Amino acid sequence: MSASCDITHVLWLVRIPEVFADLRPEILAAMAASSRKELGVYSLVRLPAGVSPRGGAAGIFVPWCLPVEHAWPCDPGKTEGFIEKAASALARKFSARHPRTVWVGVLQPGPGDGWFKRLASNLRGRCLQLFPGSAMPLAEAGSQQPGEAALFCMIGAGGLYAGMASPRECNGFYPGGIHHLPKSAGTSISRAGAKIAEALHHAALHGKPPGKGTHWLELGASPGGMTLELLNRGHHVTAIDRALLDPRLEGAVGLEFYQKDVSSWHPARGRKFDALLCDMNGDPLDAFAQVLRLKTCLRDGAWIIFTLKTTGREGMDELLALHRKVLAGAETGRCDHMATTHLSGNRREFTMWFRC
């Protein structure tokens, strides 16, 4: 079944995280989306041709999206020969375009998705037989070329939805954008350990992330989940926080810690860092002002990963205004904005990447 014969509009599958569920109608309206249908944790929407869900200002609320070129609304459990029919239709439609690989994800991930997960895995297996040269183990998803198109398919109780796009266009290497990375070491101290693991995985969509041995300046490090994750990856960390780090980090190799307010910390003359991480709570504009102040001790080309907390900001307009202020500050401070997204480990906050 073809997705649409209407050339003025394109069908998209978009995910808006649960923490922003209250803003969903406003976010979709900002994209001029019409005819919305809920499919698990995704929305199937029609957008004017040429508009991408992540293209406009409201795109920061969309951590994953897919242009749908093939839609088969059905109940896979009640469709005889579903896998064979679905795989042959996909092969007829997409094999001549040589997708780098084929991914199949589930529309409603989480507990109770076992049957669909198995179906997804079987459908993928059959597709890989029909798309010569497209095999790639799931574990290697993060090593895809971010600009190279793959065939992304999503299945669930609402049917099968598929399209060809690059991981960069979809904003994720995995189908649906939700994939639980192997448990990171840092989570033994705080859940933020998983956030930095995801932020580094995601960074590969935008360039070559800082390699092993990088010296990080970390603002707002306590209790130290992110610190431990960075140390475990072979980085050096200079961490600053008003509060102490978890005692398990005491004496950790590669770690230097200052118990101080960031605003009163000054690096030694000539001291240079390769990357900066800021997860400070409090007012986000004050936190970003500290990032810009400390930019002078970053080497050229250094990466900045900044958690944009939304403390004190409520509706979509306030959140977008906050994001715009940070972007304006970055421009004045000569930091190139690479991306802003909502990671699966984020609460009502965003992760931003910059290069200076």
Residues found near ligand SAM in the complex (CB under 6 A): 190, 192, 220-226, 240-243, 261-263, 279-282
Cα-based distances in Å from 95 to 124, 134, 137, 140, 292: 14, 10, 19, 21, 48
- In the bound complex, what is the minimum distance in angstroms from residue 307's beta carbon to ligand SAM? 8
State both tokens at 56.
């406009």
Q: What is the DSSP letter of 225?
A: H
- In the bound complex, what is the minimum distance in angstroms from residue 277's beta carbon to ligand SAM? 8
- Cβ atoms 140, 179 nearer than 8 A: no
**Nearest residue to ligand SAM on Cβ basis:** 220
- Is the torsion defined by CA of 168, 174, 177, 180 positive or negative? negative
Q: Which is nearer to ligand SAM, 146 or 267 (CB)?
A: 267
- In the bound complex, what is the minimum distance in angstroms from residue 200's beta carbon to ligand SAM? 13
Query: How many degrees, rounded to 5, is the angle at CA 50 between CA 143 and CA 52?
Result: 45
- In the bound complex, what is the minimum distance in angstroms from residue 222's beta carbon to ligand SAM? 4
With H, G, I as helix, E, B as strand and everything else as coil, classify residue 54.
coil
Q: Which is nearer to ligand SAM, 140 or 261 (CB)?
A: 261
Q: Which is nearer to ligand SAM, 144 or 351 (CB)?
A: 351
Q: Which is nearer to ligand SAM, 277 or 319 (CB)?
A: 277
Rg (alpha carbons) of the chain, rounded to whole number: 22
- Asked whether the bond before 223 is cis by omega within 30 degrees of 0, the reply is yes
**How far is the C-alpha of 153 from the C-alpha of 107, rounded, in Å?**
10
- In the bound complex, what is the minimum distance in angstroms from residue 237's beta carbon to ligand SAM? 11
Q: Which is nearer to ligand SAM, 71 or 249 (CB)?
A: 249
- In the bound complex, what is the minimum distance in angstroms from residue 264's beta carbon to ligand SAM? 8
Q: Which is nearer to ligand SAM, 4 or 281 (CB)?
A: 281
State both tokens at 181.
């990375």
Q: Which is nearer to ligand SAM, 240 or 352 (CB)?
A: 240
State both tokens at 293.
């102040």
**How far is the C-alpha of 237 from the C-alpha of 307, rounded, in Å?**
17
- In the bound complex, what is the minimum distance in angstroms from residue 220's beta carbon to ligand SAM? 3
**How far is the C-alpha of 333 from the C-alpha of 280, rounded, in Å?**
19
- In the bound complex, what is the minimum distance in angstroms from residue 266's beta carbon to ligand SAM? 13
Could you list the beta-strand ranges (E) of the chain. 9-15, 34-39, 42-48, 64-67, 70-72, 102-106, 150-156, 159-165, 215-219, 236-241, 255-259, 273-278, 298-309, 336-341, 349-355
- In the bound complex, what is the minimum distance in angstroms from residue 179's beta carbon to ligand SAM? 21
Q: How many CB atoms lie within 10 A of CB 265?
A: 17
Q: Which is nearer to ligand SAM, 29 or 243 (CB)?
A: 243
Q: Which is nearer to ligand SAM, 126 or 309 (CB)?
A: 309
